[in-house]
Amino acid sequence: DSILSNVLPAPEDPVLSVIFACRDDPCPVKLNLSVGAYQTEEGKPLVLEVVRKAEQQLANDLYCDKGYLPIDGLADFNKFSAKLILGDDSHAVKENRVVTIQCLSGTGSLRVGAEFLAKHHQQRVIFVPNPTWGNHPFIFTLAGLSVEYFRYYDPHTRGLDFEGMLEDLGAAPSGALVVLQACAHNPTGIDPTLEQWEQIRQIVRSKGLLPFFDNAYQGFASGNLDSDAQSVRMFVADGGECLIAQSFAKNMGLYGERIGALTIVCTSEGVARKVKSQLLLVVRPMYLTPPIHGASIVTTILKNSDMYKDWTIELKGMADRIISMRQQLYEAIQARGTPGDWSHIIKQIGMFSFTGLNEKQVRMMAKEYHIYMTYDGRISMAGLSSKTVPQLADAIHAAVT
Ligand code: PMP
Q: What is the Cα–Cα distance from 82 to 202, expressed in whole angstroms? A: 24
What's the ipTM? Answer: 0.99
User: Which residue's CA is the closest to the ligand 1 atom numbered 6?
Assistant: 216
Does the CB atom of residue 107 touch ligand 1 within 6 A? yes
Rounded CA-CA distance 248/280 in Å is 21
The DSSP 8-state label assigned to residue 45 in this structure reads B
Whether 250 is catalytic: yes
Question: Quick check: helix, strand or coil at residue 104?
Answer: strand
Identity of residue 187: P
Query: DSSP secondary-structure letter at 398?
Result: H
| Under 8 Å between Cβ of 38 and 319 | no
Q: Where are the alpha helices (DSSP H) in 178-337?
A: 194-206, 230-237, 269-287, 293-303, 305-335
Q: What is the pLDDT of residue 36?
A: 85
Of 261, 246, 262, 257, the residue nearest 293 (C-alpha): 257
Cα distances (Å, whole numbers) of residue 241 to 132, 207, 309: 23, 13, 31
pLDDT at 128: 98
What pTM was computed for the model?
0.96
342 among known catalytic residues? no
**DSSP secondary structure code for residue 131 in this structure:** S
Q: Which of 53, 133, 197, 311 is catalytic?
A: 133
Annotated catalytic residue, options 161, 168, 191, 214:
214
One-letter amino acid identity for 165?
Answer: M
Angle at which helices 194-206 and 230-237 cross, to 10°? 40
Give me the residues of the chain with pLDDT under 70, please. Answer: none
Shortest CA distance to 219 belongs to which of 306, 297, 313?
313
Q: What is each CA distance from 60 to 64, 171, 301, 308, 309, in whole angstroms?
A: 8, 57, 15, 20, 22
Task: Compute the distance between CA of residue 207 and CA of residue 72 in angstroms, rounded to an integer.
Answer: 32
**355 and 378 in contact (C-beta within 8 Å)?**
yes
Ligand 1 centroid vs 101 CA: distance in angstroms? 17
Ligand 1 contacts CB of residue 294 (under 6 A): no
Answer yes or no: is the C-beta of 102 below 6 A from any ligand 1 atom.
no
Catalytic residue (one of 53, 72, 228, 250): 250
Asked whether 363 and 14 are in contact (CB, 8 A), the reply is: no
Using most ligand atoms within 8 A of CB, pick from 135, 349, 351, 378 the residue to mutate for ligand 1.
135
In the reported structure, the alpha carbon of residue 107 is separated from the centroid of ligand 1 by a whole-number distance in angstroms of 6
Each residue of 106-123: pLDDT tens digit? 999 999 999 999 999 999
Ligand 1 site-directed mutation target among 190, 191, 250, 252, most atoms within 8 Å of CB: 250
Is the CB of residue 188 below 6 angstroms from any atom belonging to ligand 1? no
Helices (H) and strands (E) in the chain, counts: 15, 13
Q: Is the shortest distance between the CB of 380 and ligand 1 below 6 Å?
A: no
The pLDDT, as a whole number, for residue 80 is 98
Note the residue count of the chain. Answer: 401
Q: What is the pLDDT of residue 290?
A: 98
Question: How far apart are the two ends of the chain, measured CA to CA in Å?
Answer: 56
